[in-house]
């Protein structure tokens, strides 16, 4: 058996997990790791801030379907990852974060750049480790990847004391992981599924609510088949967008605070709600005690804690979304289609009427409407692009107007709502999918939160596009101030901002600007088909709001339409 | 079903005997706003496994969520809720009681009645060890309060399930 150093064991174990790309930033505690890195086949992407490393790894995981990996130093390097980790945790994204730590004999001494990152990240990781013995490195790496990608995925952090890296030990490759205390349930209880079929047969106004769990389980085909077999309309949460073909007459759109009228009204009127891979976030349910009040709720999720957490559920089904849907489809095939489809017409007609009378709408007049930019972007890309977003109005307009009709094309910080997510996410997505056009739809506020990653994009020649919907406001907060705080625009006016065209040029990227509506399409065309990193600055109507809107705490059927 | 009723639950957790496991559990309770009334941790006969006995209160929805969240922790091997299963539970308390000449005899009588023991004696105090369920200890405390309790240390509950074998006393504490 060969003796290897801690750092050699680390890279050996990482490569056995199929790691090809790491997002990271060096520092004192990881010098030994960085010293070894060039000797491996792993591609390292030098970000400009550790938060960017985690968001990039998050998007890399989502765009590739694998696990994203990042590597940072101890202390501030580690604390800078916390926002990214918390975002990946809420959105159930498999990310492995490697942090350097001071040598073991200094732990607990308040050493230079020492922080208890395992303690700090305990509540926002799926699991985390402080490695204290060189013999544990290989096992912990193996376990970490297994935990990150299995069950309900999530981030796992591994804290690596510096002195372990240069020690030597024998390395034994491990075959499989066995954790007596961690065994996710993939196969649902079949008795529960029989009950679901029975409910479907007796329902008059059923609907499906699909979330990110369906995408994570690669279950969108099974979901589409399920909806067709049962003739049930489908709404999606923000994280579920792309799960269902939007051209289908069964498509309801996004549900929630900025959902479509028909999706929200359907949830209020339905008599059966089959929720799959969702967690009933407050932005989805609105006032919780009246949510889907007339419905029997079926909830399918791989995470038992999601079920019965926020809404009372009649039929809980713990299991993988795709496996559950495939089993339901098999059961449905044994039924007479006529008994499943019975008496749906009135319900579907009602939905059609909601759709026709209260569609998503805006009016393009003299100034550029942000919605128009997104619609044009959709037209020009034909939906065949990976779209990342920042957080706020830009995110909601994107969700509403970029017609996500295929899985894994929409990468957004849904649960935590991190401003500054979109640019590093675009970098991660582009590295995972070099073949794809990747666009970050940003606001002028949030783009400035991780703007330093422009340098990363340009350094690695990543042809990502940033479309800034520039209203010189922190638009979503301003919208709330206008609607609920007497128009007191306390600290949301951001007219003092850099010239984004010059900023792009300063980074070595291409900068473009559109001020008038007729400039939108030419700028998009020029930007999208340019092979370089591009920032497109769209100076949009300053006070445009996101509609429809449900005020916080109101029932989601109480919508403000304009 | 009376789902809003707030009830006390004795949870028994088998966990990996590793650093940080208790912090994960305590953090889960504080982070999600759950209650811990008492908590006892010690190794089991398998040195890799510890048993945590934890008393919590909440309505059905809350206690169900607590159990699920605990089960979700990677280091938690198994969660038992003893509330509706036959079990024995005990708590121990050490009490340091003022012992004046006129109360000494009375204290010793109480100690005798409650089948407790004097484990330390000083010029003006007794230290008494008492075990039992929570009610017994509380009753004992209340009776001794008038004598003057200097200090008290309670362990919190520990519990084990009864087994379904003949000769067992199912259902009795």
Provide the edge-to-edge strand list for the sheet that holds B76-81. Answer: B38-43, B49-58, B7-16, B76-81
Put simply, the answer to whether A304 touches B71 (Cβ < 8 Å) is yes
Distance set, CA A195 to CA A107, A192, A331, B1 (Å): 55, 5, 11, 21
Collect all residues of chain A within an 8 Å Cβ-Cβ radius of residue B68: 304-305
Say whether A433 sits in a helix, a strand or coil: coil
Distance, in Å, from the CA atom of B62 to the CA atom of A280, rounded to the nearest integer, reads 16
Q: Is A113 among the residues known to form the active site? A: yes
Put simply, the answer to whether A308 touches B65 (Cβ < 8 Å) is yes
Q: Give how far A101 is from chain B: nearest CA, Å.
A: 17
Enumerate the domain spans of chain A: 2-171, 190-357, 370-539
DSSP secondary structure string, A203-231? -SSEEEEE-HHHHHTT-HHHHHHHHHHHT
Please state at what angle helix A321-333 crosses helix A190-202, rounded to 10 degrees.
60
Mean pLDDT rounded to a whole number for chain A: 96
Give mean pLDDT, residues B53-66. 95
Does the pTM surpass 0.90? The reply is: yes
Least confident among A220-224, A535-539, B168-172 = B168-172
Q: State whether ipTM is beyond 0.90.
A: yes
Cβ atoms of residues A215 and A408 within 8 Å? yes
A2-171 against A370-539: fold identical: yes
Q: Is the dihedral of CA A206, A212, A213, A216 positive or negative?
A: positive
Q: Give how far B57 is from chain A: nearest CA, Å.
A: 17
Q: Is the dihedral of CA A339, A340, A344, A345 positive or negative?
A: negative
DSSP secondary structure string, A248-315? STTEEEE-STT--HHHHHHHHH-SEEEEES----HHHHBSGGGTTTT-EEEEEES-GGGTTTSS--SE
Distance, in Å, from the CA atom of A342 to the CA atom of A340, rounded to the nearest integer, reads 6
Please state at what angle helix A393-401 crosses helix A370-381, rounded to 10 degrees.
50
Distance set, CA A545 to CA A258, A371, A518 (Å): 11, 10, 21
Enumerate the domain spans of chain B: 7-87, 90-159
Least confident among A53-57, A155-159, A186-190, B81-85 = B81-85
Q: Is beta strand B76-81 parallel, antiparallel or unpaired with respect to B7-16?
A: antiparallel
pLDDT digits (tens, 9 = 90+) for B96-133: 999 999 999 999 999 999 999 999 999 999 999 999 99
Distance, in Å, from the CA atom of A148 to the CA atom of A93, rounded to the nearest integer, reads 8
Q: Which fold has domain A2-171?
A: Rossmann fold (3.40.50)
**Confidence band for B5, pLDDT divided at 50, 70 and 90:** confident
pLDDT digits (tens, 9 = 90+) for A264-318: 999 999 999 999 999 999 999 999 999 999 999 999 999 999 999 999 999 999 9
Cβ atoms of residues A431 and A462 within 8 Å? yes
Q: Which residue of A has its CA nearest to B77?
A: A181
Give mean pLDDT, residues A376-403. 97
Res A107: pLDDT: 97
Distance, in Å, from the CA atom of A454 to the CA atom of A436, rounded to the nearest integer, reads 18
Cβ neighbours around B168 below 10 Å, total: 11
Here the contacts of A278-281 (C-beta below 8 Å, separation 24 or greater) are: A278/A209, A278/A210, A278/A211, A278/A212, A278/A213, A278/A237, A278/A240, A278/A306, A279/A211, A279/A303, A279/A306, A279/A309, A279/A310, A280/A306, A280/A309, A280/A310, A280/A311, A281/A237, A281/A256, A281/A310, A281/A415
Cβ atoms of residues A407 and A273 within 8 Å? no
CATH for B90-159 is 3.30.70.1150
Give mean pLDDT, residues A175-181. 88
Collect all residues of chain A within an 8 Å Cβ-Cβ radius of residue B78: 181
Using a CB–CB cut-off of 8 Å, the residues of A that contact B are 118-119, 122-123, 126-127, 130, 147, 179-182, 303-305, 308-309, 312
CATH superfamily of A190-357: TPP-binding domain (3.40.50.1220)
* Domain over B7-87 is classified CATH 3.30.70.260: yes
Distance, in Å, from the CA atom of A207 to the CA atom of A259, rounded to the nearest integer, reads 15
Put simply, the answer to whether B16 touches A181 (Cβ < 8 Å) is yes
State chain B's maximal CA–CA distance in angstroms.
57
Express the helix, strand and coil content of chain A in percent, nearest 5 each. 40, 20, 40
Span A370-539 CATH architecture = 3-Layer(aba) Sandwich (3.40)
């Amino acid at each position: 058996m060969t003796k290897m150093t801690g750092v050699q064991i680390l890279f050996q174990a990482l490569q056995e997990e199929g790691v090809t790309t790491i997002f990271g930033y060096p520092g004192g505690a990881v010098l030994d790791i960085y010293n070894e890195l060039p000797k491996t086949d792993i591609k390292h992407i030098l970000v400009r801030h550790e938060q960017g490393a985690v968001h990039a790894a998050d998007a890399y995981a989502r765009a590739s379907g694998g696990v994203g990996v990042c590597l940072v130093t101890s202390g501030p390097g580690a604390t800078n990852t916390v926002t990214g980790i918390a975002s990946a945790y809420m959105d159930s994204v498999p990310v492995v974060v490697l942090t350097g730590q001071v040598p073991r004999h200094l732990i607990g001494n308040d050493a230079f750049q020492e922080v208890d990152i395992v303690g700090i990240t305990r509540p926002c990781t799926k699991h985390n480790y402080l490695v204290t013995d060189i013999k544990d490195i290989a096992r912990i790496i193996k376990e970490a990847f297994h935990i990150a990608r299995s069950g309900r995925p999530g981030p796992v952090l591994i804290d690596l004391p510096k002195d372990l890296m240069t020690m030597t030990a024998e390395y034994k490759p491990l075959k499989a992981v066995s954790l007596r205390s961690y065994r996710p349930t993939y196969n649902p209880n079949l008795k529960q599924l029989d009950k679901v079929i029975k409910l479907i047969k007796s329902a008059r106004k059923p609907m499906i609510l699909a979330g990110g769990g369906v995408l994570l389980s690669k279950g969108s085909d099974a979901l589409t088949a399920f909806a067709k077999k049962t003739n049930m309309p489908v709404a999606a949460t923000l994280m579920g967008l792309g799960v269902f073909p939007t051209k289908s007459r069964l498509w309801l759109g996004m549900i929630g605070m900025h959902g479509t009228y028909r999706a929200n009204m359907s949830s209020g009127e339905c008599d059966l709600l089959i929720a799959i891979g969702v967690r009933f976030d407050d932005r989805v349910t609105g006032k919780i005690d009246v949510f889907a009040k007339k419905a029997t709720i079926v909830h399918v999720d791989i995470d038992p804690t999601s079920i019965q957490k926020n809404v009372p559920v009649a039929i809980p089904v713990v299991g993988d979304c795709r496996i559950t849907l495939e089993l339901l489809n098999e059961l449905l095939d044994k039924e007479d289609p006529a008994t499943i489809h019975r008496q749906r017409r009135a319900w579907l007609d009602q939905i059609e009427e909601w759709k026709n009378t209260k569609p998503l709408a805006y009016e393009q007049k003299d100034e550029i409407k942000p919605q128009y930019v997104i619609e044009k972007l959709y037209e020009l890309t034909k939906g065949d692009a990976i779209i990342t977003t920042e957080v706020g109005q830009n995110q909601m307009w994107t969700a509403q107007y970029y017609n996500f009709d295929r899985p894994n094309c929409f990468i957004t910080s849904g649960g935590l709502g991190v401003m500054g997510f979109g640019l590093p996410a675009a970098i991660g997505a582009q590295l995972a999918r070099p073949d794809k056009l990747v666009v970050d739809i940003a606001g002028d506020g949030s783009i400035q939160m991780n703007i330093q990653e422009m340098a990363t994009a340009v350094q690695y020649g990543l042809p990502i596009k940033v479309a800034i919907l520039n209203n010189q406001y922190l638009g979503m907060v301003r919208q709330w101030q206008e609607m609920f705080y007497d128009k007191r625009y306390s600290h949301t006016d951001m007219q003092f901002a850099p010239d984004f065209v010059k900023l792009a040029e300063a980074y070595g990227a291409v900068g473009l600007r559109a001020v008038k509506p007729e400039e939108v399409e030419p700028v998009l065309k020029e930007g999208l088909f340019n092979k370089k990193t591009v920032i497109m600055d769209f100076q949009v109507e300053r006070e445009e709001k996101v509609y429809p809107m449900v005020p916080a705490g109101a029932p989601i059927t109480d919508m403000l339409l304009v | 079903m009376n789902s809003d009723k707030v009830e006390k639950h004795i949870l028994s957790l088998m966990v990996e005997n590793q650093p940080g496991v208790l912090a994960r559990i305590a953090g889960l309770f504080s982070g999600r706003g759950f209650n811990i009334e008492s908590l006892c941790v010690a190794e089991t006969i398998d040195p890799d496994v510890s048993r945590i006995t934890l008393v919590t209160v909440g309505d059905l929805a809350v206690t169900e969520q607590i159990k699920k969240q605990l089960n979700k922790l990677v280091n938690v091997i198994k969660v038992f809720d003893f509330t509706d299963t036959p079990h024995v539970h005990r708590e121990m308390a050490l009490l340091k009681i003022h012992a004046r000449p006129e109360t000494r005899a009375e204290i010793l009588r109480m100690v005798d009645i409650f089948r407790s023991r004097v484990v330390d004696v000083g010029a003006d105090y007794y230290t008494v060890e008492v075990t039992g369920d929570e009610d017994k200890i509380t009753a004992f405390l209340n009776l001794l309060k008038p004598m003057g309790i200097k200090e008290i240390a309670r362990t919190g509950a520990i519990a084990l399930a009864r087994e379904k074998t003949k000769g067992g006393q199912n259902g009795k504490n």
